[in-house]
Structures are given as structure tokens and as C-alpha cells.
Amino acid sequence: MKIFNSLQFKISMVIVVPFIIMLIISNLFNIFSVNNVTKKLSYKVLEESAKGEAAKVQALVQEAFDSLSTFEYTVDNLYRSGERNREVYKNTTKDFFETLPEGTGALFLVFKNNVMGNDADYINDPKYSEAGGMFSDYVYRNNGSADDRGMTSEELKSDYYSVPVTTGNINITSIYDFEVGGKMVKMNTWSIPLKNNGQIIGVAGVDIFIESLAPIMDNINPFENTLTSLFDHNGTLLYNKENETHVGKNIYEAYPYYKDNNVLESIKTGQTVIFEDFSTSLNTKSAYIFVPIKLETGQNWGMKILVPNYVILEDSNNIRNIMIIILAVILVIVFIITPLIIKKKVVFIIKLLAQDLTKLSKGDISWDTPPGFTELKDEWGDIARAIKSILDNLNNVMNTVKESSEQVESAANEVLSGNNDLSNRTEMQASSLEETASTMNEMASNVKFAVSDIYDSTNMVVEAKDYVGKAGKIIEESVNKMDAVYESSSKIMDITKMIESIAFQTNILALNASVEAARAGEQGRGFAVVASEVRNLAQNTQESVKNITSLIFDSNDKINLAAASVNESKDIFNDIADRMDKVSDLMQKVNIAAKEQENGIGQINIAINEMDSSVQQNAALVEEASSSSQLLLNEAKNLNKLIDFFKLR
């Protein structure tokens, strides 16, 4: 089944099937046209052949009429010469009869009543008595010799005598049975009037054996397996090769379907009839042609020629068979040549391109189109040039993306390292603030003891002075640490700005990568998803960095406030130390200052707690920044792994 699914087979079928259909339709049309033309020509040939054969029969009939006319002319000359001797007419009739062909059964001569002028002399003559003494001589064949007799009154009432006498026209009777030599035969009678000075004086006629037409009709065979028939003006069959038992029957009686084609009516008007029908005699569909045979009487006989269609269409069938053979040869050639051409001109090229495109599906874009393909001037050249352009663009884009992803990974590493440093410093700051808070709590406790015991002992003042000195140092140390925190916050701001800049650049690079991936189409869809994720991460990082920066600004403001408070406390403690060097009478003022110092320490303690909270928040933000940096680094590494799927030039 593989061959039926191959591109070579499918393309071949797309080309061959319509071609075959058109070729078959064309050949069917040609065969049909040739068949019709050949059929018309064959029918024309058949018609002309039938007319030619009819002319032969007509010539035979005309010959009989000519013989009868010659006899009539001979008798007429005798009568005009004044000859009235019956023996002369008898001998003339007999002699003329012997010159007629064997198909002529009899020759007769009859003069009308008293035309001879001596009928009364023969009224009792056995030969003429039945005719009332009229002259009548009927010469016929009898066992090879010619005999004669007179005609009976009944015979003189027949059409072959009465019609010519009364109408003055030639007459041909219908076929009838007649006994000759003890044997019944079929014949018809042709008769012609005898005239003298325009007056009808008698009748001359011949009896024709119908079987005498058989030799001529049997020789009518224009085509193989031809069957012929001959019928008279009344439609009575005189000859029928198709079925001899039908001789003497009317054609409509023998073949009722002839009436559907108005055969007899057309023949009577001198028209040729041609039609097709199934012949039970030939057991096949056949062509029927009927042609008229014009007689001297003005009447028409008809001749039928029946020919099988396969005989008529033999040439057409031969041409059809030749065309079918040619069609078969063409189909075989097309079935052989077309797949070979398709294989060479199409499938071979597609296989080469398919092999290279398979490499592309595996991520290999380092290859190039097969040599010479881009120089082709057809659609294959367009495809090859398009593939080459795609490969070039993919390589350029993937190289750019690879460089960008490497830069993102490097930047993410640096950001992560900076965040780790910031995290460590923030932890140290938090620890320092915790120590400061502890110290301030201790100092506050001491101040309380100092205030409560200031009245008890002056020594306590000195001790308080020492404590105040220590507190001043602690405050000074706190100021220094706050400055360090402020400096660290400034560095954090610088780092976050650098992170924000890197996130912005990453966002731009991810946007460019998405655009290039969109250009790459289906092959760049996976990369487009990665680029979109990188862009989202970069945007999230940028937003987080902005939040960190805002918090650091807030922290710096609070540190500045705390530093101001600590500096103020430092001044107060210095003032206390100076005043404690004076006299003890200033103890009251010291007491007041101690109270103020207690309040200031409380404020400092609050500020330090706030600083501690801010530092803790900074530490959390740094942790978030570190996590984001780590995520960005991981995504950059994943992006590099995805890019490594492609084998670049």
C-alpha cells in the first residue's frame, strides 16, 4: 500500500486520470462520430446498391415489356396490313413465344368481338366456341414443348383482359396460383392493349413464372448475409429469401412492423425507405432498405434488401477497434512515462528537500539547500530560495538570541552575586542595630538609676558622667553605624538601579526575540513562548526593583531622622558631661537634663526600633531580589538549553 500513498503515485494520478478521462471521452466521441459517419455512408452505399440491383430487376421487367411491346407491334402491323387469317396470327404467336425466355409461362393474343370480321365462321369451332367465335390463342409450355388453346369466357372476364380493353392501359395482375403440367405454380400476367387508329381491338399478354425471378434475386448480394425480397404494387411478395413461405402474402401480413414505417405507401409514391429493426431471420439488429422499381404501367414494385448492422458497420467497427488499440497503447505509455517524469522532475526534488527539512525538525539549521536548486527558474527555484532565506534568517535570529541569552545569564549572575552581598550586609546592619538597641536599653536603665539616685550621692554624678561618656561613645558609634547603613542603602540603590537597567534591557531583548520568533513562523513558536516568559520575568524584576528602591528611599529618610536624633543626644550628653564638671549645685539642672536625656533616649530607642524594622524589611526585599535574580538566572539557563537544541552554522 505504500506505493499508493506515495507522492509520485498521487501526482501521477492527478495528471493521468483527467488525461485518461479526456482521452476516453474524446475517443468515445470520435468512435461515435465515425460510427455515425460510417453508418450514414454505409446506408448511402446500401441505398445506391439497392437502387442498382433494383435497376437490374427493372431492366428484366422492362425486357419483358419490350418483348410484349414487340409482339404487340408485330400483331398491329399484320392487322393493319389487312391480314385476317387466324392461322397467321396463331403461327406468329407460337413463333414469338418460342423466342421468349423460360421464365415466360405463356403468351396469348385476343381480338375483340368481330374485330377479325369472321367470328361467325368460328362460333362452332371447339377452340373458339367458348369465346363466341372471337379469336383467342393461348400458347403455353407443356413438358418442354409449346401447345396452344383458345381462351374460355371466364378467362376473358379476368383483369388481364378486361382492364386493358376497358382502360386502354397496360396491366399487371397480382400473383396467383396456376396449374402447369399438373403442377401448381405461382405467376402473374402482364397484358397490353392492341390498338388500331386509336381504337382498342384486342389484348396481348404474357404469363410470367414468379420463380423465374429467383435467379436474379438470388444474385443480389451487395453485402455479406444479405436477404432480399420483391413485392408488387399491391404489396404481394413475389420473392422472399428471408422466408419463402411468405411468397404470395402481403408484406403487411408477413411483416406487420413494415406498416409502422409506411413501406408500401412510400414505394407506391416512388420513395425509398430505410430503417433499423431486429431481424428474427438474422437474429441481430439489421438495416432494412426498400427501393421502388418503376414499371411501364406507372405502378411501382418494391425491392427490399436486409443487411445485418455488423456487416454494414464492419469498417466502423474496425476503425473503432483500431482507435481502442491506439487508446490502450497511449494509456500504457502514459501510465509508464508519466510516473517516470514525475519521479525525475518532482519526487526526486521533493525527497531532497524533505531530507533537509527533516534535519530542520531536529533543530539542525546549519545545512544549506542542495547545490543548484536556487538557480532554478521554476517554482522549485522559488521554494529553494525561500528555504535558503528561512535558514539564513533563522541562523541570524538564533545567533542573536543565543548571544542575548548568554548576556542575560551573565547579568543575572552579577545581580545574584550583588544581592547576596547586599543580603550579607543587611544581616550585619541588622545585627549592629540589635546591639545598638540593647545598648540604648541599658543606657536608659542607667539614666533612670541616675535620676533616682542624683539626690543620694554626688559620686553617683561622677558615675553618671562616666556612663554619660560611655553613652556618648555608644551614640557616636550608633551615628557611625547609621552612616554605614545609609552608605549601604545607597549601594543597594545603585545595585537596584543596575538590576532595573538589566531588567529593562532583558525586556527589550525578549521583545526582539518574540518578533524574530514570530517571523520564523511555526519553527519559532516554541522560542516565542520562552522569549515571552523571559520578558515577563524581566518586567516582574523591574517592578520588584522599583519597589525595593522606594523602600530604600523611605529607609534613608528614617535613618536621616534617627541620625539627627542621635547627634542631638550626643550634644546633650556632651553638655551634661561639661556641666557635671561644675559644681553639684547644678545637680538640679542635671536632674532636669537627666529627665530630658531619659526622654531623648526613649526617642532614640524608638528610632532604633524603627531602623531595625526597616532593616528587616530591607533584608526581606533583598531576599526577594535574590530569589528573582536566581529565577532570572535559571530562565536564562533554560533559554540557553532551548537554543542549544538548534545546530547553528
State which of 307, 338, 358 marks the end of a domain. 358
DSSP 143-210: TTEEEEEPPPTTGGGSHHHHHHHHH-S-EEPPPEEEEETTEEEEEEEEEEEEEETTEEEEEEEEEEEG
Instruction: Give, in degrees to the nearest 5, the angle at Cα 220 between 218 and 226.
Output: 90
Query: Is the same domain home to 328 and 202?
Result: no
Is the pLDDT score of 1 beyond 50?
A: no
Is the pLDDT score of 493 beyond 70?
A: yes
Nearest-angstrom CA–CA distance, 497 and 491: 10
Q: pLDDT tier at 194 (50, 70, 90 boundaries)? A: very high
* Beta bridge partners of residue 146, listed in sequence order: 141
Query: Is the same domain home to 349 and 401?
Result: no
pLDDT digits (tens, 9 = 90+) for 325-377: 887 888 788 778 877 777 666 766 777 667 666 777 777 777 777 777 777 77
pLDDT digits (tens, 9 = 90+) for 120-166: 999 999 899 888 899 999 999 887 788 999 998 888 899 999 999 99
Query: Is the same domain home to 353 and 392?
Result: no
CATH number of the domain to which 110 belongs = 3.30.450.20
Q: Write down the pLDDT at residue 263.
A: 94
Q: pLDDT tier at 268 (50, 70, 90 boundaries)? A: very high
Q: Write down the pLDDT at residue 602.
A: 77
Is the pLDDT score of 250 beyond 50?
A: yes
Query: Is the same domain home to 176 and 325?
Result: no
What's the whole-number average pLDDT of the chain? Answer: 81
Least confident of 182-196, 279-293, 561-575: 561-575
Q: Write down the pLDDT at residue 474.
A: 77
Query: Is the same domain home to 454 and 567?
Result: yes
Query: Averaging pLDDT over each range in 360-369, 386-395, 457-466, which range is the top one?
Result: 386-395
Instruction: Give, in degrees to the nearest 5, the angle at Cα 95 between 92 and 100.
Output: 120
Residue of 247, 218, 243, 227 lying closest to 235 (CA atoms) = 247
pLDDT digits (tens, 9 = 90+) for 405-424: 778 778 778 877 877 787 78
The number of C-alpha atoms within 13 Å of 92 and in the hemisphere containing its C-beta is 22
Least confident of 2-11, 197-206, 517-526: 2-11
How crowded is residue 215: how many other Cβ atoms within 10 Å of its Cβ? 9
Characterise 629 by phi-psi region: left (phi > 0), alpha (psi -120 to 50), beta (else).
Answer: alpha
Query: Is the same domain home to 561 and 424?
Result: yes
Instruction: Say how many domains are in the chain.
Output: 3
The pTM of the whole model exceeds 0.85: no
Q: Domain for residue 376, yes or no?
A: no
Q: Domain for residue 240, yes or no?
A: no
For residue 301, give the H/E element and its range. Answer: strand 300-308
Query: Is the same domain home to 477 and 583?
Result: yes
The number of C-alpha atoms within 13 Å of 226 and in the hemisphere containing its C-beta is 19
Residue of 144, 121, 148, 145 lying closest to 134 (CA atoms) = 121
Characterise 181 by phi-psi region: left (phi > 0), alpha (psi -120 to 50), beta (else).
Answer: left
Q: Write down the pLDDT at residue 6.
A: 66
Query: Is the same domain home to 206 and 331?
Result: no
Query: Is the same domain home to 350 and 410?
Result: no
Is the pLDDT score of 201 beyond 90?
A: yes
Q: Write down the pLDDT at residue 146.
A: 87
Nearest-angstrom CA–CA distance, 423 and 621: 9
Residue of 42, 64, 144 lying closest to 98 (CA atoms) = 144
Q: Write down the pLDDT at residue 551.
A: 80
Residue of 254, 226, 256 lying closest to 238 (CA atoms) = 254
Query: Is the same domain home to 114 and 197?
Result: yes
DSSP 30-61: HHHHHHHHHHHHHHHHHHHHHHHHHHHHHHHH
Query: Averaging pLDDT over each range in 542-551, 577-586, 589-598, which range is the top one?
Result: 542-551
DSSP 399-448: HHHHHHHHHHHHHHHHHHHHHHHHHHHHHHHHHHHHHHHHHHHHHHHHHH
Is the pLDDT score of 190 beyond 60?
A: yes
**Which range of residues forms the domain containing residue 570?**
386-644
Q: Domain for residue 295, yes or no?
A: no
Is the pLDDT score of 200 beyond 90?
A: yes
Nearest-angstrom CA–CA distance, 53 and 572: 160
The number of C-alpha atoms within 13 Å of 128 and in the hemisphere containing its C-beta is 24
Cell representation of residue 633: 538566572
Measured CA distances, 279 to 226, 242, 258, 524 (Å): 12, 10, 12, 80
Give me the percent of the chain exceeding a pLDDT of 70: 89
Average pLDDT value for residue range 529-535: 79
Query: Is the same domain home to 343 and 484?
Result: no
Q: Write down the pLDDT at residue 534.
A: 79
Burial class (CB in 10 A: 0-12, 13-18, 19+), 322: exposed
Q: Write down the pLDDT at residue 355.
A: 66
Q: Give Cβ neighbours of residue 594 (< 8 Å, ≥ 6 apart).
A: 447, 450, 451, 454, 464, 576
Q: 3-class DSSP state for residue 255?
A: coil
Query: Is the same domain home to 408 and 523?
Result: yes
